[in-house]
Structure 1
């Protein structure tokens, strides 16, 4: 009898639809999808889809029948409830406290205060002597949504009111951390935490924080500082995507996303490593050890989103593509479909799709990427 995997999901994502569900099938798992949005997953999964309130670990537990082999989620919002449900069944899982710290930016700053003190306050209780500029953001936000750099108390109040007009969850105001932005991609099995690699991230001009380009690079020399902070948070199991800055020899965490990197960089990472990454992640949740694999040959890689520059209807755009341009392998996966209405938000939600390019040298990769973008049209009417 096949082992049972319960995959806990909210909205439908490419990581789940094209990554983890096919990986579970290749592993021969009997997979049940638990979600509060079953319509969004219609047609993406050939097995059972069970509707339940996946934000509540008690509802996840109640929806599980028999003896599960693993309970897994790749959602930012669902790490803690999935971890609590897994703990109930005695299954390998992330520490739910670490998942809560990673998701809640105020808890994260409080927990790391002895290692890396960063000014952080409830956005409605910022003192007059706060160290402006500050970054205003939802306490448990994602995708750079409603994240703004504010220079003074007047800007803070103005942006806070703008956000309050369409959402009512808590906001925090944090000290702006200067430096070069990097990511750290890790995978742990509870015994070993392995660094998979790092991307160098290019952001849009302030006051917004849209990720415009991610470039594969060696982890910076300051990476051990980040690993120490992750250990303090209790992060060490499964996949984790950490964003941090390096400035004058000091590495400081921006945020911890206790799941696999998104926006199609997950597929790029799997291609770069040359390993079945989605299966590897599921394997540790099944109780297996990290597998050994060879460090990939020196290669250059870029993930570059195509970003909407205006609101309107998407009338022309390529579909999924894979092609070679000399020694460079290119792939494109859309995030919006022709006919979709696009509203520019100045966040990562403005992505129309992402181009991934892997090649031996930076110049070749950049040139192939430029040719690909010039040869295709993305039209917003």
Structure 2
């Protein structure tokens, strides 16, 4: 069966998750991307240039192979280009993406070819943070004060028209990974942050919304045409304000039923169904309120940890959903396991001069895996996003105290040194 996977830059979710899953299922996978050169030398097998079983008229310079997978150049941000590229190649059995940026395009392409597809309107609503707030309010699911600063709006003039409740949060309308997301305590701080973002992102649309207090959690779901199923979620520890960088996620097999019910109801209101979905929400005084919805599998190795602790081939099951299979009964929360994932963050700009290598440990019922994300000797700026991650530690065991002790022991016994 032929699966087209839309992607931008290489990610571990694809390289370590969906790509090997497609191989195990015996699928023929073609990766469409606007940056094929990014896949050269990235992965377990170096990608190479050359014909990739191309159709007549396709230029070899638009093709590479990545870990044996056919990679074709395509303007994946344009649904028409995606449809044209697929139509001129091989007939598809599924069109899929795990990218935040490409869900609407993949949904439209799958719909065009009559394949199992996410509702493109749900994909758009979840990606566009302003539209998500408007839709939730209009449907009666939840109302959060929010306002949009359009690309052609003058920031200062637009802010003068708003009755902003402080503290508030400002962020790009279609941003990801806490990039340029800030807490603002007052009008002066909000104006300053808006201008900062516009300097880095000229013409970007922004969203200003009320700050929702509470403990941050996630709900991980999978769905088919008949409904959504929760797989549990995570309790998330963030960096200190004004930034919102994830520092740790601890597995929660089951949230309280009223909380899960509220979040699932809001997801259904948005139209979320087919495939994987990663939803961030806060709970304050027992009330759950959505922060944002990422209509894809949880990232930053959270999906790798989830697959491991659930004990089922999660990536395969997600791909099968996009091929029209029903939800597997094996996709259930794991009430008998504890797990956490730690993100080692750079605290300042500079050169990473010393850091541990990759580690895998399996003893006394505990499994620990550390993966470095940045090579030593390279200099990096400080971004206050997941681009500051130096490495990721995944720890899984029979109970939370054992997991916490093992993770803390690893983190305190290793050093990550940054020099100017």
TM-score band by shorter chain is over 0.9
Structure 1 segment 22-37 matched on structure 2, within 5 A: 22-37=20-35
Matched, 1:149 2:183: yes
Equivalent residue in structure 2 for 1:72, among 96, 112, 118: 96
Alpha-carbon distance in 2 for matches of 1:297, 1:183: 16
Match of 1:21 in 2: 19
Which runs of no fewer than 5 residues in structure 2 stay unpaired?
41-46, 48-65, 150-154
Which runs of no fewer than 5 residues in structure 1 stay unpaired?
none
Match of 1:120 in 2: 146
1:336-361 deviation digits (Å, cap 9, x = unpaired)? 22233221111222111110101112
Structure 1 segment 347-362 matched on structure 2, within 5 A: 347-362=385-400
Shift of 1:236: 0.9
CA RMSD of aligned residues (A): 1.4
Alpha-carbon distance in 1 for matches of 2:12, 2:416: 20
Match of 2:323 in 1: 286
Shift of 1:377: 2.8
Match of 1:207 in 2: 242
Match of 2:54 in 1: none
Alpha-carbon distance in 2 for matches of 1:292, 1:276: 12
Larger deviation, residues 49-58 vs 64-73: 64-73
Larger deviation, residues 321-330 vs 257-266: 321-330
Match of 2:44 in 1: none
SS at match of 1:77: helix
Alpha-carbon distance in 2 for matches of 1:361, 1:185: 20
Matched, 1:219 2:255: yes
- Equivalent residues of 2:232, 2:333 under 8 A apart: no
Shift of 1:47: 2.4
Matched, 1:192 2:227: yes
Equivalent residue in structure 1 for 2:383, among 342, 345, 360: 345
Deviating beyond 6 angstroms after TM superposition, the runs of 4 or more aligned structure 1 residues are: none
Larger deviation, residues 191-200 vs 95-104: 191-200
Alpha-carbon distance in 2 for matches of 1:300, 1:96: 35
Shift of 1:297: 4.7
Structure 1 segment 286-305 matched on structure 2, within 5 A: 286-293=323-330, 295-305=333-343
Matched, 1:321 2:359: yes
Equivalent residue in structure 2 for 1:167, among 201, 207, 213: 201
Alpha-carbon distance in 2 for matches of 1:347, 1:164: 17
- Equivalent residues of 1:325, 1:368 under 8 A apart: no
Match of 1:140 in 2: 174
Matched, 1:110 2:146: no
Alpha-carbon distance in 2 for matches of 1:238, 1:152: 40
- Equivalent residues of 2:133, 2:143 under 8 A apart: yes
SS at match of 2:101: coil
- Equivalent residues of 2:230, 2:333 under 8 A apart: no
Shift of 1:324: 2.2
1:246-289 deviation digits (Å, cap 9, x = unpaired)? 11221110000000000101100001100111101000001111
**TM-score when scaled to structure 1?**
0.96
**TM-score when scaled to structure 2?**
0.88
- Equivalent residues of 1:143, 1:347 under 8 A apart: yes
Larger deviation, residues 343-352 vs 55-64: 343-352
- Equivalent residues of 1:76, 1:257 under 8 A apart: yes
1:218-241 deviation digits (Å, cap 9, x = unpaired)? 223311011111001000110000
Shift of 1:30: 0.9
Alpha-carbon distance in 1 for matches of 2:335, 2:182: 39
Alpha-carbon distance in 2 for matches of 1:107, 1:283: 30
Alpha-carbon distance in 2 for matches of 1:219, 1:337: 38
Alpha-carbon distance in 2 for matches of 1:249, 1:219: 11
Match of 1:62 in 2: 84
- Equivalent residues of 2:228, 2:264 under 8 A apart: no
Match of 2:218 in 1: 183
Alpha-carbon distance in 1 for matches of 2:256, 2:78: 38
Match of 1:262 in 2: 299
